[in-house]
Chains A and B, each alone.
Chain A
Amino acid sequence: MIELETTPEIALDFSSLVREHQSMVFSVCWHFLHDRELAEDVAQEVFLKLHRNMASIQSPSHAGHWLRKVAVQRAIDAGRRRVRRPQVALADVAEPVADSRVGDPLLKETLRRLIATLAETPRMVMILRYQEDLDPAEIGRVMEMPVATVKSHLQRSLALLREKLTRRGLREDRWIG
């Protein structure tokens, strides 16, 4: 067990931090990269970086913020480095069946694929908003951008998603039935 004394009062246990935050770190990477293997590799690098920087971590909550920020940076870097694979074209996104309802797994997959087609910044903003449930101010702090920019990305991405779904014949009234 790797345990480092960061302050006299707080002893942070690295393995506990891994177990506590692994789904957060992995999910940020996975939703951003859409590649499970690559997401696990990037998540592993994030935790190894934490391990090297344990001395600078002051508290468990600090570790959480630190991990989220590093995961965001590393996922974006990995996305840029990745050999360009054929991007998922909107035309290739599976069309949900006409009687989709809220909670439909096919609809969720369609949404994930549509998000994957967004540019990197709005994609990460959407992930932090809806995966991590962060408000625009918190997203701004993590991504080091003004709150107004975060809000603008959110509004534009939501409008774009609505438009794409409507174009595919999916309207709110049909979802809710």
Chain B
Amino acid sequence: MDWLEQELKEALARKEPSADFASRVMRRAERPERKLYRFPRWLAAAAAVIVLAGAGLEYRQYRGEQAKEQLLEAFRIASVKVNHIQTQVQEVGK
């Protein structure tokens, strides 16, 4: 071991922590461990899947209602036109 290594050994000699270190560790070790309730991951994932599926279903229903409304509106317009044509055809025949 050369001079530098000898110096390093002395520079990095072990040091003592604070005088009350051990007693602080013992106090913390003896303290009852607080059990934090952790929400299970699988439950969170399942809840997310259910919410997404519900939202998807709701959206499909909404789109279905919209399509139905549009179809009925189209039928109404078409029936007005057909009535109009029918009236004109009847007048020509008179």
Contacts and interface: CB of A to CB of B under 8 A. Distances in A.
A14 B14 contact: no
Given A2-B30, A15-B26, A18-B25, A23 B11 contact: no
Interface stretch (B16-24, B42-50, B58-66, B81-89): B16-24
Contact of A23 (B6, B15, B24): B15
A145 interface: no
B22 A22 contact: yes
Given A2-B30, A23-B14, A47-B29, A130 B9 contact: yes
- Interface size class, chain A: 35 or more
B64 to A, nearest CB: 53
Given A26-B15, A26-B16, A27-B14, A44 B4 contact: no
A19 interface: yes
- A-side interface mostly: helix
Contacts, number: 89
Given A126-B8, A161-B4, A43 B17 contact: yes
B12 A115 contact: yes
A19 B12 CA distance: 20
A38 to B, nearest CB: 12
B36 to A, nearest CB: 15
Interface of A: 2, 14-15, 18-19, 22-24, 26-27, 30-31, 39-40, 43-44, 47-48, 51, 102-103, 107-109, 111-112, 115, 126-127, 130-131, 133, 158, 161-162, 165, 172, 175-176
